């Protein structure tokens, strides 16, 4: 908590035993879809026990407790969404990931809420093929958001997020009052190979482009109740003054939002100042890529509650908005746990 305010984190990813992901190796190696073993009597092809899954979730909860995070929305691990795999395998992998997310939520229903992975195909005519899995996760599992990758195949072949390709997903998410969490996934650009964990470069470019396309396009005129959260402060920041025509001169304060998942303090402060506290939602990805220890504190860089709480340029009301009020406003499902 922060000053008696429940801290709600909109950016988290499912924690499972690493061996649980071996199922996708079996599917890709055999070129054969396999049923999700979650909920089955036997451990299934991945040979992971319920106790091992629970232990991973318990470690996740301890990690949140150490960082004063009360509730977290968890979705897929972005670098393991694997949107470039064979199209006939992707639905089985997607279902298994969503089953694992739901399982973690059932272990700790007062700490986690689910956000679904969708079986996005970059070369499909549109995203209507994702609607059945979205419906399943919302109706059966009570998921409160949906993850969407701007370029799941990782080759920059996916239509921009302002194009009709996306409309079936936008329409259904608006009907369900389910926000979309935009997060980059894999990048298969051969230039990136020299950089370790180069999917991070794809996060920056694809999330920034998504914000530009959504800002300058007419998506929110077509879907005025749609709400979109772009992770990692939007990937990159604008370099223009607010009145510059390079920036979309329209009010997006009810539709387009950003999370605080950035660990460099200068970048994070600039992002909050540029986006405005009213459009920023607390997000950390804890546990994830913010494990590096911050010099001078001895704490990991994803320990962001004291960081944002210590920003002198923010009022206490602004901090309450970021930690609690904005997440509840944008992700209505958080209201039931956001005491």
Structure confidence by residue, pLDDT tens digits, 206-252:
999 999 999 999 999 999 999 999 999 999 999 999 999 999 999 99
First to last CA, the chain: 11
What one-character DSSP code corresponds to residue 160?
Answer: P
pLDDT for 244-292, tens place per residue? 999 999 999 999 999 999 999 999 999 999 999 999 999 999 999 999 9
Fold of 8-336: TIM Barrel (3.20.20)
Tell the residue number behind the tokens 């997060």, with chain if given.
183
Distance CA 284, CA 271 (A): 14
* Domain spans, the chain: 8-336
Query: Cβ contacts of residue 103 below 8 Å, gap of 6+?
Result: 38, 39, 53
pTM comes to 0.96
CB hemisphere CA count around 160 (13 angstroms): 15
Q: Judge whether 330 and 257 are in contact, CB under 8 Å.
A: yes
Query: Cβ contacts of residue 67 below 8 Å, gap of 6+?
Result: 284, 286, 300, 302, 303, 304, 305
Question: What average pLDDT does this structure show over 165-190?
Answer: 97
Instruction: Check whether the bond before 287 is cis (ω within 30° of 0).
Output: yes
């Amino acid at each position: 908590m922060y000053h008696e305010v429940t801290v709600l984190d909109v950016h988290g990813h499912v924690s499972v035993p690493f061996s649980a992901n071996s199922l996708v190796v079996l599917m890709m190696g055999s070129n054969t879809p396999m049923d999700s073993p979650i909920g089955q009597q036997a451990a299934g092809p991945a040979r992971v026990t319920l106790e091992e899954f629970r232990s991973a979730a318990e470690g996740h909860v301890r990690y949140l407790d150490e960082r004063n995070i009360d509730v977290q929305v968890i979705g897929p691990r972005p670098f393991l969404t694997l949107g470039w795999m064979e199209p006939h395998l992707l639905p089985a992998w997607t279902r298994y990931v969503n089953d694992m997310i739901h399982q973690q939520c059932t272990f700790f229903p007062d700490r986690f809420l689910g956000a679904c992975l969708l079986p996005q195909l970059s070369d499909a005519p549109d995203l209507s093929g994702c609607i059945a899995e979205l419906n399943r996760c919302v109706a059966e599992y009570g998921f409160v958001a949906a993850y969407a990758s701007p370029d799941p195949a990782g080759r920059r072949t996916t239509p921009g997020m302002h194009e009709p390709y996306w409309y079936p997903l936008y329409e259904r998410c608006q009907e369900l009052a389910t926000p979309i969490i935009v997060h980059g996934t894999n990048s298969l650009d051969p230039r990136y190979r020299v950089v370790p964990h180069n999917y991070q470069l794809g996060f920056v470019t694809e999330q920034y482009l998504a914000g530009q396309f959504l800002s300058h396009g007419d998506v929110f005129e077509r879907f005025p109740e749609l709400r979109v959260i772009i992770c990692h402060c939007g990937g990159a920041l604008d370099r223009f003054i607010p009145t510059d025509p390079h920036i979309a001169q329209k009010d997006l304060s009810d539709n387009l939002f950003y999370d605080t998942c950035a660990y460099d303090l200068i970048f994070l402060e600039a992002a909050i100042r540029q986006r405005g506290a009213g459009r920023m939602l607390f997000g950390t990805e804890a546990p994830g890529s913010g494990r590096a220890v911050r010099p001078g504190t001895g704490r990991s860089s994803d320990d962001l509650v004291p960081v944002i709480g210590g920003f002198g340029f923010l009022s206490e009301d602004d901090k309450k908005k970021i930690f609690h009020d904005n997440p509840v406003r944008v992700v209505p499902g958080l209201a039931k746990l956001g005491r």
